[in-house]
DNA sequence: ATCGGTGCAAAGGGTTTGCAGGGTA
DNA sequence: TACCCTGCAAACCCTTTGCACCGAT
């Protein structure tokens, strides 16, 4: 749409990029703020939202919705699904896919994509069950 | 938790119950307001939110999240999944299930449930493609 | 020296809550 | 009549936007 002006390198952007690269799982904006503030304490939440959207526009991140809230993950990944830990609220990526789904479609429905979320307990939380 | 006081029958609650019964698909709060106002024009949005939560507490409805926003469907249904139409934003129920998913779980993850959403075009929208 | 980026604070959109009046039982 | 329910408006939470200052180029 609009011609992208050149992006500048700032401490904030580098730090946001780094936490997403090293997280190995999708991160919510609040998680990004928490992780980045150890490096850049003054980081404003607005900067996080703006930067995440920027990275999506750039094609480097993709937004996903899990358990009703948005998370961002690296765009380069191949088709996969997600695990949501109902204890710690973290989201993980799961390699692999369910396979054939078209048999679930009544006639008239046209499928373009699908999303699968498995809910449960992640390794940390299943070791030491809560409550 | 708290002892349920007896529920009163009001025009609002009956109308909200009726649209959910006749919709045959999960409804978002805004959809409920729109549908009920043809019967009860004065209906306030707060009443809709309160009543929907009440029905969930009563075990008559269950909340589901599709495409990042909440919808409510009848609780009595057997295990099934959902279809999200990216053109008209409506959600539909799809009978059937994907089958075996545990092969997607890396060790240490414990599955308690799963949710599958197929995205695409519903019959109405695939007949007359938009734009 | 530019002018894009940042942080703060205010604005938005959806959902929840407080309260006084209304309606069911 | 008692008190639950409703509608309005304010409060909330998360996200976006406006604006003046900061800082990368």
Q: What is the pLDDT of residue B90?
A: 96
CA of A119 to C1' of C8 (A): 38
**Nearest nucleotide relative to B9: CA against C1':** C24
- Say which of B101, B107, B120 has its CB closest to residue A111: B120
Instruction: State the pLDDT at residue B129.
Output: 59
Nucleotides of D under 7 A from a protein CB: 3-10, 14-18, 23-25
Band the pLDDT of A41: cuts 50, 70, 90.
very high
Task: Say what the pLDDT of residue A131 is.
Answer: 45
β-strand partners of B114: A118
pLDDT at A56: 97
Percent of chain A with pLDDT over 90: 89
Q: What is the pLDDT of residue A9?
A: 96
pLDDT given for residue A45 in this prediction: 98
Long-range contact set of residues A73-80: C-beta below 8 Å, sequence gap at least 24 = A73/A20, A73/A25, A73/A26, A73/A27, A74/A20, A74/A21
- Tokens linked to A43: 């980081």
Residue B4: predicted pLDDT: 59
Alpha helices in chain A (DSSP H): 11-23, 29-36, 45-57, 123-127
Residue nearest to nucleotide C16 (CA to C1'): B46
Q: Could you give the CA distance from residue A123 to residue B62 in angstroms, rounded to a whole number?
A: 28
Predicted local distance difference test score (pLDDT) of residue A82? 97
- By C-alpha distance, the chain A residue nearest B124 is A108
Banded pLDDT at A21 (limits 50, 70, 90)? very high
pLDDT tens digits, one per residue of A67-100: 999 999 999 999 999 999 999 999 999 999 988 8
- Show which residues sit with Cβ under 7 A of nucleic chain D: A 8-11, 28-30, 45-46, 49-50, 53, 69-70; B 5-8, 10, 12-13, 40, 42-44, 46-47, 50-51
CB contact under 8 A, A104 and B96: yes
Q: List, for residues A108-125, the tens digit of each pLDDT value.
A: 999 999 999 999 999 999
Q: How many CB atoms are located within 10 Å of the residue A97 CB? A: 15
What secondary structure, in 3-state letters, does chain B show? CCCCCCCCCCHHHHHHHHHHHHHCCCECHHHHHHHHCCCCCCCCHHHHHHHHHHHHHCCCEEEEEECCEEEEEECCCCCEEEEEECCCCCEEEEECCCCCCHHHCCCCCEEEEEEEEEEEECHHHHHCCCC
Arithmetic mean of pLDDT over chain A:
93
Look up residue A10 and give its two tokens.
């700032």
Q: Is the pLDDT of residue A2 over 90?
A: no
Per residue of chain B (131 residues), what is the pLDDT tens digit? 444 578 999 999 999 999 999 999 999 999 999 999 999 999 999 999 999 999 999 999 999 999 999 999 999 999 999 999 999 999 999 999 988 899 999 999 999 999 999 999 999 999 865 54
Identify the three-state secondary structure at position A23: helix
Taking the C-alpha atoms of residue B58 and residue B78, their distance in angstroms, rounded to an integer, is 18
């Amino acid at each position: 749409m609009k011609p992208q002006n050149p992006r500048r390198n700032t401490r904030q952007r580098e730090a946001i990029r780094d936490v997403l690269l090293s997280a190995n799982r999708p991160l919510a904006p609040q998680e990004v703020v928490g992780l980045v503030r150890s490096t850049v304490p003054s980081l404003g939440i607005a900067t996080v939202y703006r930067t995440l959207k920027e990275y999506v526009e750039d094609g480097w991140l993709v937004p996903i919705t899990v358990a009703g809230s948005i998370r961002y993950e690296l765009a380069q990944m191949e088709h996969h699904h997600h695990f949501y830990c109902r204890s710690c609220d973290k989201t993980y990526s799961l390699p692999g896919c369910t396979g054939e789904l078209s048999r679930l479609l009544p006639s008239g429905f046209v499928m373009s994509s699908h999303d699968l979320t498995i809910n449960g307990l992640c390794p940390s939380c299943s070791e030491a069950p809560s409550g």
